[in-house]
Structure 1
């Protein structure tokens, strides 16, 4: 993760250098604020990646003598298909639509359906075909 920390760090430095230049050329509060927040966000990610890179074993891609074969093996758990994200998105859509149309009864229905669907999404791997 050292390479990723360097990439984010260089980008944070670039945005931090560009921000004052943007302010002096454009005198735009909105863009300057967005650039400041972008620099802070990249700095935060840089600190996170640097913190974890110093405390974990180096990955094959982080070592100078790393080979492609060193990265072979199990990479982790990748879930199979799931319909729950679709229902979560539809429940959120109902909530947003109800809010935009000031139909509070629709918002209440959306939150009720959303609570049930979120529980189904969270506990998806505790029952059924893919339980473990």
Structure 2
């Protein structure tokens, strides 16, 4: 995690340098700078700082990974990487019902309610897909 922490630290340093530069570059005598862009860059800098602090603390407490060691071989990273779910149709139906809900806000609340009902069914199917059927365990 040290490499990931350094990536976010570099992004934080970049944003700390760019934010006041942006504010000064957009400054004119009437408005006093672009507050929207400056606020967005400030919040982005704070978010990258938060992630870099989190990754830095966890890098200290974790056992070193092969990616963090300079003397590591490619074979050191071999082994089981984790559980990867097989194909699933449920995300498609969840996305489709979300689209129906958004269209329901535009066209009428009755369509939103229909989308929400089907969305609850689709989300339940996605959550419980490993409890029944072919992929049950």
TM-score (norm 1): 0.95
Which has the larger displacement, 73-82 or 51-60?
51-60
Distance 1:19 1:70 in 2: 41
- Give SS of 1:75's match: coil
Q: Partner residue of 1:106? A: 111
1:131 counterpart (125, 128, 136):
136
Pick one of 99, 103, 112 that aligns with 1:93.
99
1:62 maps to which of 52, 57, 68: 68
Structure 1: 5+ residue runs without aligned partners? none
> Unaligned regions of 5+ residues in structure 2, if any?
27-32
Greater helix share, structure number: 1
State the partner residue of 2:14.
14
2:56 aligned partner: 50
Q: CA deviation at 1:46?
A: 0.7
Runs of at least 4 residues of structure 1 off by over 3 A?
none
1:41 corresponds, among 35, 43, 47, to: 47
Return the index of the structure with the highest Cα Rg: 2
Q: Distance in 2 between matches of 1:52 and 1:100?
A: 45
RMSD over aligned Cα atoms? 0.9
Q: Per-residue displacement from partner, 1:56-110 (whole Å, max 9, x unpaired)?
A: 1111010111110000111111111000000000010001111123x00011111
* 1:25 maps onto 2:25 in alignment: yes
Distance, in Å, in 2 between the alignment partners of 1:33 and 1:3 is: 28
Alignment size in residue pairs: 131
